[in-house]
Amino acid sequence: MLPVLLLLGTLQNLVVAETIISVPNGAPWGDWGPMETCDEDTIIQGFQLKVEKPRGRLIDDTALNGIALYCTKNSSWEVVKIIKSAEGPFGTWRPVIWCHSGFLKNFTLRVEFKVRGDNTAANNIKFTCSDGSVVEGNGLSWGTYGPWSYDCNKGLRGIQTKVQGRRGAFRDEVGLTDVKFMCR
């Protein structure tokens, strides 16, 4: 009897639990911010990156510092809410990037983290839209893209980012290090 009950318990967890998609190549530093979500009757068709421009050869770089998602009404593209989780202190918000049609569905993260001296952690992100097209962020190009996440078949619903805060002038700072998304 016991194994059956355990199995039922597990199945129930699978059904109830929210699906989170992630990638294995995030950098290890920093702390996770809260999971922030769009309302259930909206979809996510666009995103925006906060990026620190390259600062020159001898100055510490942090590259990607924030990711915001645009919650829109299905069909009208009207923005209802903009969500973001933890945000690094460096850089500025760049123009929003939209799917040509449909919603954001899976992602891959560009990360630099085994460099001696000046690591920047996350640099850029690419999403696949539900129409099959791939949209790339306007981040920087250090590091490499890792494997794609699983798909959110009905699109993304929430975002959680991991960020390292200020560490002072003489220590390597990296900004945003990892990200996860909740599915609808």
Ligand X SMILES: *[C@@H]1O[C@H](CO)[C@@H](O)[C@H](O)[C@H]1NC(C)=O
Residues in contact with ligand X by the rule CB under 6 A? 43, 74-75, 103, 106, 128, 134, 148, 150-151, 154-155
Nearest residue (CB) to ligand X, 128 versus 160: 128
CB of 96 to ligand X, least distance (A): 19
Pick the closer one to ligand X by CB: 125 or 174: 125
Nearer CB in complex with ligand X: 156/159: 156
Q: How far is the CB of 94 from ligand X (least distance, A)?
A: 22
Length of the chain: 184
In angstroms, give the least distance from the CB of 102 to ligand X: 8
Alpha-carbon span 84 to 35, nearest angstrom: 8
Torsion angle of C-alpha atoms 50, 149, 21, 95, degrees rounded to 10:
20
**Do the Cβ atoms of 155 and 80 come closer than 8 Å?**
no
> How far is 103 from 69, CA to CA, in rounded Å?
11
Q: In whole angstroms, how close is the CB of 40 to ligand X at the nearest point?
A: 10
Between 8 and 134, name the residue whose CB sits nearer to ligand X. 134
End-to-end CA distance of the chain: 35
